[in-house]
Amino acid sequence: MASLSCALYLPTKCSSIRENGSINNTPQATSALSVQRPSVLDVAYAVAFNPATSLTAEQIRQSVPTEKQLTDPFRQGLIVEGGVRYRQTVVIRSYEVGPDKTATSETILNLLQETALNHVWLSGLLGDGFGATHGMMRNNLIWVVTRMHVLLDEYPIWGEVVEIDTWVGASGKNGMRRDWLLRSRFSGQVFCRATRHEHTWVMMNQQTRRLSKMPEEVRDEISPWFTETRAVQEEALEKIDQLDDNAKYVNSNLKPKWNDLDMNHHVNNVKSVRWMLETIPDEFMEDHQLSSIVLQYRRECDSSDTVQSICEPDEDSLPRDKNIKILTGFSLAPEILDGGGLLGTFDKWPTRYTHLLQIKGEKKDEEIVRGKTTWRKKTKKSLNSSHLPVLKQ
């Protein structure tokens, strides 16, 4: 066991749980001559994270583990399924929901990203980068994500407890994928399934921005975590057509802000998705919710880039009835309604859209990400009691 002889600042508890289950939130007074002894949990946690090694002040503050851990009490995370799958429990907070009190698509995407990083964190593989392993850091490499597919079967509501599982596996001969499963902690209802493909055998050098083959030490780091379980079955990858400026919806002159950048100084993936979805008219967004999104990444976006978001609806996905009955039961053909300008009153919108995010250059434009979204009509229904815990009197 590692020694605690080095100087180390441990977190102190501001509350404690009594034997009867009540919580004592009374702060404990301290003075310059007295040192508050940390709890057994804090000491054990600090020892597990090997504080006797030559850690920087930032690493001590982060408590980055240097070897595999099975639980993370601060993030409500643990390793399950034979030691390869990561599970985290979260509560949907007030700032993570929209006007309808359900989690936004951005919230879901942020949770996917956060749990993926926490998985690498708890595995003991996290280096000093944005999800990079120790071997990747020694070789100055970062991940290159190529494709992501998210299926949203239902949305959790404000205050709901959500359980998120994530794991990794091989994708073909030279690739890796990451999968997620989000479900209700109490009912087990599945909210979201997602998969992400990464070129892990071909990675990018952070300084030269050139692709590089994966070193053997990095392959040896991650391969023991592979599992064959899949959250999304993708037999044939759907092609996403390229769009141009003649698309129906276009937002130009989008400028990344400082807060839009991630730790690699690129525009955050969730921000990119927001730019894509904001191109769709608000009238549609008010009555529809995202049910599926497929993203194909082409290149990163920097703070100095000027971005254009392009969107084209799939007219074949427009709901059309052969005959539309009017009040008394008489039927009118769609052609008559179109000619009379009455079809718009029935709120008919396409349910599939193709997207393109690109950098506008002086000589040529460069694609950032292509996307395809599928939407469904929002339904007004009361909360299902099966989603919520049963409180005993």
Residue 47: φ, ψ to 5°: -65, -40
Q: How far is CA 217 from the centre of its chain?
A: 27
How far is Cα 293 from Cα 148, in angstroms, rounded to an integer?
8
The number of angstroms, rounded, from the C-alpha of 26 to the middle of its chain's C-alpha atoms is 37
Give CA–CA dist 64/48, Å, rounded: 10
Give the residue numbers annotated as catalytic, written as ranges.
Answer: 264, 266, 301
Angle subtended at Cα 236 by Cα 233 and Cα 238, rounded to the nearest 5 degrees:
105
DSSP string for residues in 216-262: HHHHHHHGGGB----SS--SSPPP-----TTSSEEEEEE---GGGB-
106 in Cβ contact with 152 (< 8 Å):
no
What is the C-alpha to C-alpha distance for residues 147 and 145, in angstroms, rounded to an integer? 6
The token pair that represents 186 in the structure block: 């109490």
Question: How many CA atoms does the CB half-sphere of 164 hold within 13 Å?
Answer: 29
DSSP alpha helices (H): ranges in the chain?
A: 40-48, 57-62, 105-123, 134-138, 216-222, 269-277, 282-287, 334-340
Integer-rounded Cα radius of gyration of the chain? 25
Closest CA to 206 of 128, 281, 283: 128
CA distance 192 to 187: 14
Residue corresponding to tokens 């300008």? 341
308 phi and psi, to 5 degrees? -125, 130
Q: How many CB atoms within 10 Å of residue 181?
A: 19
Cβ atoms of 209 and 170 within 8 Å: the answer is: no
Query: Which of the 8 DSSP states describes residue 343?
Result: G
